[in-house]
Amino acid sequence: MNAKKSTLKNYKFVLTRFENYFGNIELTSITTDGILPFLTKISEGAKQSTKKLRYALISAFFNFIKTSYDSNLQNPCDSPALRQIFKEQRAIHWKILEKDVVDEIIFRTENPRNRLMLELMARGGMRVGEVLKLTANDVEDRKVFIRDPKSGNEMELVFIPQKVADRLKEYIRDKGIGPDERIFPITYSAARVIVIKAGKLVGIDLRPHDLRRHAATFASRAGTPLEIVSKIILRHSNLATTQRYLGKVSDIEAMRWIDNIHG
């Protein structure tokens, strides 16, 4: 009676498909080997957290039947193998690039096109795919419009520093790029190579998403509220995703922040 609407919705989703899949088969006849393909089918393409939830709902259903109606019922979900398959993955803590390292990478990149691409990722928090899709029409002063973003929204907005905006507009003008033409008409593979080579300039193994992650981490550690980092810089739909980006805080850094807060 006190269940949330989302819980009821999830149970309805899982149990409706359970009934359709197993039909009139007796619950006592359903084994671990039988429940695995069912869970795999209803979780295909879902996030690991969703897979874990659906596994937990089916397991709770069998436990309810066992507790309320048949104490001899064996829960087919009660299997170490299934728990391992459908457990939620541990949060990943990525390496964090310090500001001086990113600054050196950008300053040592002499090619104007390559430098702009690096800056849009490191200063604007843009994904490499978003950078590659940009047209001249998408740039308006310090605002960059992202068409058909990953979130599924019709459009998203990125704010970039004034100096980056000025260099971007100058690059568009100097190259004679038309309003509907891509600013960086290269492939994803070529862009990835550019980033890898930029990292080698300072002796590190660098990937495009490391730069986007730096934009979030630097903003956060500069005192930017988490909501701004999440909604404006990274454009995430929830804060939990953003928090995974920000990496672990060392003891030394934690003490430095405490000192800053309390004088």
* Structural domain spans, the chain: 5-85, 99-262
Count, in order, helices (H) and strands (E) of the chain: 13, 3
Sign of the four-CA dihedral 202, 208, 210, 216: positive
Per DSSP bridges, beta strands 155-159 and 139-140 are unpaired
Judged against a pLDDT cut of 60, whether residue 214 lies above it is answered with yes
Tell me if 159 sits within 8 A of 150, measured CB to CB. Answer: no
Q: How far apart are CA 81 and CA 54, in angstroms?
A: 16
**Residue 251 pLDDT:** 58
Q: What pLDDT score was predicted for residue 93?
A: 47
- CA–CA separation, 96 and 250 (whole Å): 11
- The pLDDT, as a whole number, for residue 228 is 77
Does pLDDT of 250 surpass 60? no
**Which of 37-41, 226-230, 247-251 is least confident?**
247-251
Tell me the CATH architecture of domain 99-262. Answer: Orthogonal Bundle (1.10)
Query: Taking 50 as the threshold, does the pLDDT of residue 92 lie above it?
Result: no
Which pLDDT value is given to residue 157? Answer: 87
DSSP codes of every residue in 160-190 = --HHHHHHHHHHHHHHT--TTSBSS---HHH
Residues 18-34: tens digit of each pLDDT: 999 998 899 999 999 99
- Choose between 259 and 24: higher pLDDT: 24
Residue with tokens 């490391």: 210
Residue 234 has phi, psi (to 5 degrees) of -95, -20
What the block records as the tokens of 209 is 């998403």
What was the pLDDT predicted at 1? 59
> Residues 190, 134, 97, 112: is their CA dihedral positive or negative?
positive
Confidence of residue 94 (pLDDT cuts 50, 70, 90): low
